[in-house]
Amino acid sequence: MIKILSYCFYDITRGYWISIYLSFYLFLGFGLLFLNNDISSAIITLMNIVIYLVPFISLIFGLTYYYSSREFTELLLVQPLKRKTIVLGQFLGVSICLSLSLVFGLSIPFFLVGAYNIENIFDLFVLIVLGCFLTFIFTSISYIISIMNDNKIRGLGYSILIWLFLSVIYDGFLMSFLIYFEQYPLEKISLAFVLLNPIDLARTLMILNLDISALLGYTGALYKIYFGTFNGIIVSSIILFIWLLAPVILMLRIFKKKDF
């Protein structure tokens, strides 16, 4: 598996798409930090971009990598190798590459510009960790889609649909739900809704760490209590891990059964 992973890793890092991805973050980081003298608002802007862009790029990149290396995968399948190792190796290669460019792309500008304090470093750390989680989650989802669909166009369509659903449509439903049932105590239900969507979960976790969390005010006090306490952190990280593992397991099962 390590061999496949490292091959996949080198293959991706040699290509220029990943360097575009990395340089995009570098450019963004430097630009925001130079243009914006307030670090915490730069982090908020970064959050807005990272939380939505990372899932999209992971989906598309995972999809194209799977489709373009399809012949190589078939070649590997002929070898006496477990199917599990092949798909896991490729998946990890892609997601580690994407995560690394996220990590370097965001942290290098911060440490080079140098205007930071402990609190900002912690915020940035949380942002990067959440970004990596999202990368892994959405790369595995893209693998599921591409394994299930041999048709590239259909695969692309499904992944854009999933991204659109989780990042926009879901929130739309949530908002209309909150407005429609505003007479009822909705805190716990909306908390459950937030936990069910990885993008919302990441956004809420990030906001609660930043000082705009004060805007949540009385209505958001429950979230603050929930996510702020030790139990809340444990539960939300368990759910993030479930979000990480469930698609991977699904991906392995589908790949095992697939008839090439």
Partner 1 sequence: MNRFGFFILFIIIIFSSKKLYSKNIKVCSTCEFKSLEMAIESSCNYDSIIVEKGIYKEFNIIISKPLTIFGKGTPTIDGNYRGEIFEITSENVTIEGFNIINVGESFKNDNAAIRIKNSKNVTIKNNFFENIFFGIYLEKSSFCKIYNNSVTGKATEELYSGNGIHLWHCKNILIENNIIKNVRDGIYLEFSNQCNVINNISQNNLRYGLHFMFSNDDTYRKNNFQNNGSGVAVMFSRNIEMLDNVFQENWGSASYGLLIKEINDSKITNNVFLKNTLGVNMEGSNRISFKGNDFIKNGWAIRVRGASYSNSIVKNNFINNTFDISYNGNINKNLLHKNYWSKYNGYDINKDGIGDLPHRPVSLFSYVVNKSPGAILLIRSLFALILDFSERAYPIFTPTYLIDNEPSINKSE
Residues lying near partner 1 in the complex (CB under 8 A) are found at 41, 44, 47-48, 52, 167-168, 171-172, 174-175, 178-179, 182, 186-187, 190, 194, 200, 203-204, 207, 211-212, 214-221, 223-224
User: Closest approach of Cβ 31 to partner 1, in Å?
Assistant: 18
Q: Closer to partner 1 by CB, 15 or 172: give it.
A: 172
Nearest Cα to Cα of residue 139 among 2, 257, 21: 21
Q: Closer to partner 1 by CB, 64 or 213: give it.
A: 213
User: Closest approach of Cβ 137 to partner 1, in Å?
Assistant: 17
Q: Closer to partner 1 by CB, 62 or 220: give it.
A: 220
Q: Closer to partner 1 by CB, 186 or 254: give it.
A: 186
Residue 2, SS3?
helix
- Cβ 144 vs Cβ 251: under 8 Å: yes
CA–CA distances in Å: residue 245 to residues 134, 160, 250, 252: 12, 22, 9, 11
Q: Closer to partner 1 by CB, 194 or 251: give it.
A: 194
Q: From CA 114, how far away is CA 111, in angstroms rounded?
A: 5
- Cβ 102 vs Cβ 53: under 8 Å: no
Q: For residue 105, how many C-alpha atoms fall within 13 Å in the half-sphere facing its CB?
A: 25
User: Closest approach of Cβ 194 to partner 1, in Å?
Assistant: 7
Q: Closer to partner 1 by CB, 70 or 224: give it.
A: 224
User: Closest approach of Cβ 134 to partner 1, in Å?
Assistant: 14
User: Closest approach of Cβ 216 to partner 1, in Å?
Assistant: 6
- Cβ 213 vs Cβ 224: under 8 Å: yes
Q: Closer to partner 1 by CB, 4 or 44: give it.
A: 44
User: Closest approach of Cβ 42 to partner 1, in Å?
Assistant: 13
Q: From CA 130, how far away is CA 125, in angstroms rounded?
A: 9
CB under 8 Å, gap of 24 or more: what pairs does 143-148 form?
143/62, 143/66, 143/87, 143/90, 143/91, 143/251, 143/255, 144/247, 144/250, 144/251, 144/254, 145/59, 145/63, 146/62, 146/63, 146/66, 146/67, 147/66, 147/87, 147/251, 147/254, 147/255, 147/258, 148/254
User: Closest approach of Cβ 221 to partner 1, in Å?
Assistant: 6
